[in-house]
Amino acid sequence: MDILCGTPNVERRTSNPKGQCGLTPLERRGYPANLPPLMSLQRIKPSDALAKVRYEIRGPLARRAVELERQGYDIIKLNIGNPGVFGFRAPETMRLAVIENLAQADAYCHQKGIFPAREAVVMQQQSRGVMDVTADEVFIGNGVSELILLSLRALLDQGDEVLVPSPDYPLWTAAVTLNGGTAVHYPCRAENGYVPDPAEVAKLITPRTRALVIISPNNPTGAVYPRAVLQQLVNLAEEHGLVVFSDEIYDQVLYDDAEFVPVATLNKRTVVATFGGLSKVYRACGFRVGWVSFSGPKEPAKDYLLALDLMAGLRLCSNVPSQWAVQTALGGKQSIFELTRPGGRLYETRKAVAEGLARSRYLEAMIPQGALYVFVRVKPGAIPHFNDQKFALDLLEKRHVLVTPGHGFNVPYQDAFRITLLPDAETMKKVLATIEEACADYARV
């Protein structure tokens, strides 16, 4: 039965678009009669601040992958370090800590975070030799990502410069740009194991430079910076009065004899902001818990820390239930070491990648010393006119493997892509064979 204006309408059908009541379907739903046609509405313009912001890890290729999944295809997602997607789980003790403290998690907490979580960060820093951090200098956030944005917003004015590694984790460049600053990229060259040259960094410092970003263990390259290099970078920051932002989210994801050096242990005369969290070492990305602790001279940083406190207060507080896992995580057994030693899953996948690339006709990479990624490059001359964006799109469309093009990590070349080490070794062997076939096809074009 067709209902029109509340009256059964079986025989009274009409070609009149307004029906028997003289109303259009939109008017019957309460919209005004003079509503303009959809095509005449003005397009909604996004903010100009986003014009130079890129995040290829979850960009157009990732959106296309979702479309292909909706069509029924299985996509192997090597574009993002998301342990839960590949069967990793947060330690049981952390989940129990959240559950047992749910009764204390209904209310907002302090904008800096719950005290047990902040104190656990302090104790971890003290165990590493950083003795000048108190709970008042620790901020808990919804992941490190939020804290990066807040820390830069509290620091930067229009046109201020921040030194960022290239390749970088692209959120750093994006966050500088979003907050009115200019990201000045210092090169981390493949021929130097993706470790920066402090002399090159020094040449980039200007009167507008406010901060230096260090990422070690590094995403995307897997480089772990030597102590001597880190010391020289800290010395530069001290000499020029720069804030050091040390991204240490992969601090315990290390292979073979790689040594992690906490940047704050090398500092005496400037402020170091050390970032860490639960997402990678503890395989708890969905918990959305990160932290930043501030060490070094406090009096010169007083106004900056108050500004950051204001920023933290504006978002009220971070996720409270998951914060209860921090004390358990930092004080308990570090199960990541079982995964990164010989025989462990991450170690064996890394080994499979090393062996696969050693056999490759087209690809090469520095085998990572830390973190969860491999930054793969095309061998010189192996594939003329290689374009990382086109290759990644073809790989997704034809072979249903998703990688992140190298240019998404703010490098001046287009012959690279990043993959994650999270699949198991057997899956990775198959994926590398698929990528090798795609390279062969690409080389013939």
Read off the amino acid at residue 137. Answer: E
Specify whether 264 is located in the same domain as 136. yes
Residues 6+ apart with CB under 8 A from 342: none
Residues 255 and 106 in one domain: yes
pLDDT, tens digit, 9 for 90 and up, residues 416-438: 999 999 999 999 999 999 999 99
- pLDDT confidence of residue 42: 83
CA angle 248, 251, 255 (to 5 degrees): 140
Count of domains forming the chain: 2
Q: How far, CA to CA in Å, does 149 sit from each of 81, 108, 126, 174, 346?
A: 20, 21, 26, 9, 30
Residue 80 sits in a domain whose CATH number is 3.90.1150.10
* Same domain, residue pair 166 and 242: yes
C-alpha–C-alpha distance, residues 340 and 93, integer Å: 20
* Amino acid (one-letter) located at 413: Y
Q: Do 203 and 293 belong together in one domain? A: yes
Residue 428 lies in a domain: yes
Would you say residue 133 lies in a domain? yes
What pLDDT sits at residue 51? 83
201 and 317 housed in the same domain: yes
Indicate if 287 and 179 belong to the same structural domain.
yes
Q: Which of 331, 359, 377 is the last residue of a domain?
A: 331
User: Domain end: 282, 297, 331, which one?
Assistant: 331
Q: Residue 176: which domain range?
A: 92-331
Residues (pLDDT < 50) of the chain are 1-15
Encoding tokens for residue 330?
Answer: 């930092």
Residue 298 shares a structural domain with residue 414: no
Measured in whole angstroms, the distance separating CA 272 from the mean position of its chain's CA atoms is 20
pLDDT on residue 2: 43
| Contact (CB, 8 A) for 137 and 271 | no
> Do 264 and 355 lie in a common domain?
no
